[in-house]
Amino acid sequence: MASYTRPNPANPSSPAPSAPPLYPSLTMADLAPVEIPRSPASPDAPAPSDDVLLRAPGAQLHLIDRQRSHPLAAGDLSLHRIRAGDTSLAAIAALGPVQWPLARDVAAVKLDPRHYSFSFAVPASADDPAPEPLHYGLTLSAPDPRLDALLGAYTRFSAHSVAGSEGLADGVRGEVEAAAYWTAVAPNVEEYGAPSPGPSRPAPRTSPRGSCGAG
């Protein structure tokens, strides 16, 4: 399994306001596609396949931070199920170059019909023995009720309202407004999305699009 690190918040296709970066930059050499678990080699084992469960155009993804939330990607959101025959191997969400796992130890929170947060426990390392969880903010261009059902099936899904955020949520039209929204609700996301106790999963990674499918 590849080692995972935090994604690069500086997205070339979505320029962020000029300011000193809050997270270390990564080069493409640092990045690797999400590895798909494979069944033990067997002459009769079916090849893994990729089922697209949902596509939603015009979505935005931010790395949530109390000081300033950073744009990670914009474009079509897709949810994938990787399976071998009738056996499900993994579920993955993808938006632009960013992929993240959908599993029961991932806290997915619906804040309103267009805003969802995802919280992940990050593995400890020698450089960071007690890392803070990662929090992603997903902004949809329009509500999609199919997403609730899929997140309920694959993640630790819940719905919470943030008092006083209604006007801010209604005003989200572009990247600047979306970043302001996620910065404003960051304390609530940290509270609602506290990862469940248990072993840490590999953190989400930036990887070339299409790598979530099996070859």
Q: What is the pLDDT of residues 91-103, one digit of tens each?
A: 999 999 999 999 9
Write the DSSP string, 135-163: EEEEE-SS--HHHHHHHHHHSEEEE---T
DSSP category for residue 211: T
For residue 52, what are the CA distances in angstroms to 25, 85, 151, 189, 210? 31, 15, 14, 28, 11
- Residue 191: which region, alpha, beta or left (left: phi > 0; alpha: psi -120 to 50)? alpha
Positive or negative CA dihedral for 59, 61, 64, 65?
negative
Q: Cα(7)–Cα(73) distance, rounded to whole angstroms?
A: 11
Query: In the numeric block, which tokens belong to residue 145?
Result: 């009720």
For residue 177, the model assigns a pLDDT of 83
Q: Which helix (H) or strand (E) holds 132?
A: none
Buried b or exposed e, range 67-93, using 16+ CB within 10 angstroms: ebbbbbbbbebbbbbbbbeeeeebbbb
Q: What is the DSSP letter of 41?
A: P
Q: Percent of the chain at pLDDT above 70?
A: 63
- Res. 10 pLDDT band, cuts 50 70 90: low
Look at residue 6 in the predicted model and tell me its pLDDT: 55
Instruction: Give the residue-averaged pLDDT of 164-183.
Output: 70
Q: For the whole prediction, is pTM greater than 0.85? A: no
- Is-contact 123 200, C-beta < 8 A? yes
pLDDT (0 to 100) of residue 74: 95
Better pLDDT: 214 or 103:
103
d(CA 212, CA 98) in angstroms, rounded, equals: 10
Residue 52: pLDDT band with limits 50, 70, 90? very high
* CA-atom Rg of the chain in angstroms: 17
Mean pLDDT of 120-134: 88
| pLDDT at site 176 | 74
Question: What are 108's strand-pairing partners?
Answer: 118, 157
Between 134 and 215, residue with greater pLDDT: 134
